[in-house]
Amino acid sequence: MNDNTRLALILLCGCAVVLVQMLPWLPWREIRPDLVLSVVILLGITAPLCRGAGLCWALGFLLERLSGIPPGTGQLFYLFFFLLIRLLQRFFQFQTVASAFALLCVGQVLKYGYFSFLFFVVYEYASLSEHFLMTWLFETLATLVVGPLLYAGLQRLTAETKDHLLAQYVIYHGRRLQ
């Protein structure tokens, strides 16, 4: 599978994930995981910089146009998180599902800070504090349970093996050393 096909497949999976999050009959109607975060992590680890960033932006855009989220909110977060993963890749290797779990934790913590800033400073939803914390907690728990499974599935589906990832890592760091 070449890079473009793989990226198209990941984008398709991203759309499917958004669709799944919109289904009204799923058990997590109130406690909903952020499944797009797993797709962003996969893109952050495996996709080329520009195309990966573009896809993260597109997924954020899709999510927020189908939701009540103010425009720009989701895109900025996913783009920022994607770039952070790229930055962290300079220091760490992210090859296993456990590392994806760690990234999900980082993502959810960042989301707390980001949404706090947006909700309380930019949009001035001052009365939300208690509910905000509960929503974030439930979302984090659900994301940490479902996210790694989704990541593992996506990784398998897009034929990203450990060896492939390792080869990419070596190429990436080799380039940097040059």
Partner 1 sequence: MLQFFARKKRLLFLLFLLALTLTLLARDTKRSRLPSFVDRFLLALFTPPLRITSKAFGTASLLWHRYLALVNTQRDNELLRSQRDTLLMENRLLQEQARENERLRDLLGFKQRHTFHMIPAEVIGQDPTSWFKSLIIDKGSDDHVVEGAAVITPEGVVGRILKVASSSAHVLLLIDVNSNIDAVVERTRARGIVVGTGSSRCRFSYALKTDDVVPGDRIVTSGLGGLFPSGMLLGTVVFVSNDKSGFFQHIELQPAVDFSKVKEVFIVLSGRITP
Contacts with partner 1, residue ranges (CB under 8 A)? 18-19, 21-25, 29-32, 34, 49-50, 53-54, 57, 62-63, 65-76, 79, 83, 115, 122-123, 125, 127-128, 130-132, 134-135, 138-139
Beta carbon nearer to partner 1, 53 or 100: 53
In whole angstroms, what is the distance from residue 164 CA to residue 2 CA?
Answer: 12
Provide the minimum distance between the beta carbon of 159 and partner 1 in the complex, in angstroms, as a whole number: 25
CB of 25 to partner 1, least distance (A): 5
What would the two tokens of residue 29 be? 């109607």
Q: Which is nearer to partner 1, 82 or 151 (CB)?
A: 82
Comparing CB distances to partner 1, the nearer of 58 and 157 is 58
- Smallest gap, in angstroms, from Cβ of residue 62 to partner 1? 7
**Cβ 111 vs Cβ 84: under 8 Å:** no
User: Closest CB to partner 1 among 85 and 95?
Assistant: 85
Q: How far is the CB of 96 from partner 1 (least distance, A)?
A: 27
Burial label, 63 (beta-carbon count in 10 A; 0-12, 13-18, 19+) = buried
Segment (H or E) for 104? helix 97-116
Q: How far is the CB of 119 from partner 1 (least distance, A)?
A: 8
Judging by beta carbons within 10 Å of its beta carbon (0-12, 13-18, 19+), is residue 31 exposed, middle or buried?
middle
